[in-house]
Amino acid sequence: MISLPKLKKLAEREGTPLFIIDHDVIRANYEKLHKHLPRLDLYFAIKANPVPEIIQTLYALGSGYDVASIQEYQAVLENIPSKLRGKKLDDFIWDKIIVANTIKPVETLKQIANYNTLMTFDNQYELDKIKEHCPDAGLVCRLRVQNVGSVVELSSKFGVEPGDAPNLIEKAFEMGLSVEGISFHVGSQCANIENYLNALEASSQIFKEVKQRGHKLRLLNIGGGFPVPYDGIDPPFEAMAKKLRKEIDRLFPKNISVVAEPGRFIVATAATLIVEVVGKSFRDDKWVYYVNDGVYGTLSGVIFDHIPYHFNAFKRGDKRLSAVVGPTCDALDTVSTSEMLPELNIGDLLYVKNCGAYTNGSATTFNGFPKTKILNINV
């Protein structure tokens, strides 16, 4: 983590609110994931934090990219070396980009046709669109799997039931499409290893059944969901990774490519937000501090990502229960009603740690407040 004196100095130099992204932490997180799950090819889910500099940093590490829209697709291509925008681009797209959104607009499919782009599907209607508008795609069938205990649940919206997957995959082959493999997602911020183990077992059975029907799959995508530390809780990632390594090797031979789509794990701990107290009041027996960023801005993850973000003061003193709210006119713009803080004055600074995932990416300009300034360090 950046030292407190350096945080204050950056805030004084750049102004607030200020969102600081430390690329040394991004590199360390990527390498940690690669070290403990060496068999996996990593595709960064850029929705977690779509800052161009992050795309560039991860490209240098050999990362691929999980994209969900044509805008994210283009953001990747705009931030790779120019030498790859020529004759080598086709190979790069196939090997380094996965369109992981199972539902894609027709216009998107038309724009990415003729690149053999990997993409997911989970229903017949999507296959029909792909067949008509992007038949050269490499398809990955997404399964509906357990998301028990995950902070952000995904299976209610995506994935075919495992029992129906072989028939759907066979239908794709009958349509003349190329099915490369299977994917699943156990939910974001998942500390329940059973979600992964059950999904791996189900995927293995589908691989076997599809093979018995005369088709060969060569790719397994285990999604993301790897947990990161919030509120001082450090999930047992190393222990989880050890079990995952063992189970993947048991169920899937070496000729099966195994990939993952980490987002939160790579960027969550890499960013710190600094805000300024712009107002204060005493309400409901506690101090309420109004700061210049909130849930309509960088701390949008409170709403969209279900993560509680907590404030730390540079100032010392006796702490008491306080609330911190954002600058907009909406009462929804309440970041926390239970912060332990010293009494603050207008102009004092607060900082929020581990806010690099699903925050600035979903920020808005509601009420006309501009998005927070982003500062990339150690790029």
> Do 157 and 245 belong to one domain?
yes
> Do 98 and 175 belong to one domain?
yes
Start-to-end CA span in the chain (Å):
15
Give 194-228 pLDDT, tens digit per residue: 888 999 999 999 999 999 999 999 999 999 888 88
- Average pLDDT over the chain, rounded to an integer: 92
Q: Hey, is 364 helix, strand or coil?
A: coil
> Do 174 and 144 belong to one domain?
yes
| Mean pLDDT value across residues 55-74 | 96
> For tokens 């801005």, what's the residue?
297
> Do 236 and 362 belong to one domain?
no
Please give the distance of CA 270 from its chain centroid, rounded to a whole number.
13
Give 296-309 pLDDT, tens digit per residue: 999 999 998 888 89
Q: How confident is the model at residue 234 (pLDDT cuts 50, 70, 90)?
A: confident
| Mean pLDDT value across residues 352-358 | 95
pLDDT over threshold 90, residue 147: no
8 A C-beta contact, residue 233 and residue 189: no
Which residues 6+ apart lie within 8 Å of 186 measured at CB?
145, 146, 147, 150, 192, 195, 196, 199, 223, 225
> Do 241 and 316 belong to one domain?
no
pLDDT over threshold 90, residue 264: yes
Rounded distance between C-alpha atoms, residue 123 and residue 159, angstroms: 8
Q: Would you state the pLDDT for residue 327?
A: 97
Rounded distance between C-alpha atoms, residue 40 and residue 224, angstroms: 11
Query: Would you tell me the crossing angle of helices 237-251 and 23-36 to the nearest 10 degrees?
Result: 40
Q: Would you state the pLDDT for residue 357?
A: 95
Residue-number span of the structural domain to which 307 is assigned: 4-19+269-377
Q: Would you state the pLDDT for residue 2?
A: 86
Q: Hey, is 313 helix, strand or coil?
A: strand
CA dihedral 242, 245, 248, 251 (to 10 degrees): -70
> Do 253 and 241 belong to one domain?
yes
Rounded distance between C-alpha atoms, residue 106 and residue 21, angstroms: 35
Q: How confident is the model at residue 155 (pLDDT cuts 50, 70, 90)?
A: low
> Do 240 and 367 belong to one domain?
no
Q: Would you state the pLDDT for residue 361?
A: 93
Residues in the chain: 379
Q: What is the pTM of this model?
A: 0.93
| Mean pLDDT value across residues 40-49 | 96
* Domain edge (last residue) among 268, 286, 309: 268
Domain of residue 250, CATH code: 3.20.20.10
Q: Would you state the pLDDT for residue 30?
A: 97
Q: Would you state the pLDDT for residue 88?
A: 61
pLDDT over threshold 80, residue 86: no
> Do 190 and 162 belong to one domain?
yes
Q: How confident is the model at residue 187 (pLDDT cuts 50, 70, 90)?
A: confident
Domain of residue 322, CATH code: 2.40.37.10
Q: Would you state the pLDDT for residue 85?
A: 59
Beta-bridge mates of residue 334: 325
* Longest pairwise C-alpha distance within the chain: 71
> Do 223 and 301 belong to one domain?
no
Catalytic residue ranges: 329
> Do 142 and 290 belong to one domain?
no
8 A C-beta contact, residue 353 and residue 272: yes
* Domain edge (last residue) among 250, 268, 286: 268
Please give the distance of CA 28 from its chain centroid, rounded to a whole number.
17
Q: Would you state the pLDDT for residue 188?
A: 76
8 A C-beta contact, residue 203 and residue 223: no
Specify the number of domains making up the chain: 2
pLDDT over threshold 90, residue 152: no
pLDDT over threshold 60, residue 149: no
| Mean pLDDT value across residues 99-109 | 97
Q: How confident is the model at residue 135 (pLDDT cuts 50, 70, 90)?
A: very high
| Mean pLDDT value across residues 61-77 | 95
pLDDT over threshold 70, residue 114: yes
> Do 335 and 366 belong to one domain?
yes
> Do 328 and 179 belong to one domain?
no
Among residues of the chain, what percentage have pLDDT more than 70? 95
